[in-house]
Amino acid sequence: DVKVTQSSRYLVKRTGEKVFLECVQDMDHENMFWYRQDPGLGLRLIYFSYDVKMKEKGDIPEGYSVSREKKERFSLILESASTNQTSMYLCASSSRQGATNGKLFFGSGTQLSVL
């Protein structure tokens, strides 16, 4: 089975800190995604990547950046954490569309609290 591993289950940071969220997948998937999930707002796409060193903005990229230096690893960076970035962050991966029709495999999530 595909495994998508997020480095931390819970994280508490201070306002203004630089925060790194790491995600690793083991199925050689081309596509990787970062979502945040908030009550009443559902899953919102922050960034996605369809190849190494490639990235595309999602619906809410402001305040975030990403890095994909290796195929299996996709990092989300909060340059200067703010309280409104307190959320559940979910990483996902998929193979190229057409192979599995975009079926996403998710990690267990990182609950980030910014104080």
Report in angstroms the alpha-carbon separations of 9 from 5, 32, 70, 71.
Answer: 10, 19, 22, 22
For residue 39, the minimal CB distance to other proteins (Å) is 9
Q: Which is nearer to other proteins, 26 or 79 (CB)?
A: 26
Query: Which helix (H) or strand (E) segment is 6 a member of?
Result: strand 4-6
| 18 or 96: CB nearest other proteins | 96
Q: E strands, 41-114, where?
A: 42-49, 56-57, 64-70, 73-78, 87-94, 105-106, 110-114
Binding site for other proteins (CB under 8 A): 4, 31, 33, 35, 40-43, 45, 48, 50, 56, 58-59, 90, 92, 94, 96-97, 101-109
Closer residue to other proteins, CB minimum distance, 82 or 89: 89
Q: How far is the CB of 4 from other proteins (least distance, A)?
A: 8
Q: How far is the CB of 97 from other proteins (least distance, A)?
A: 6
Say how many C-beta atoms besides its own lie within 10 A of residue 115's C-beta.
10
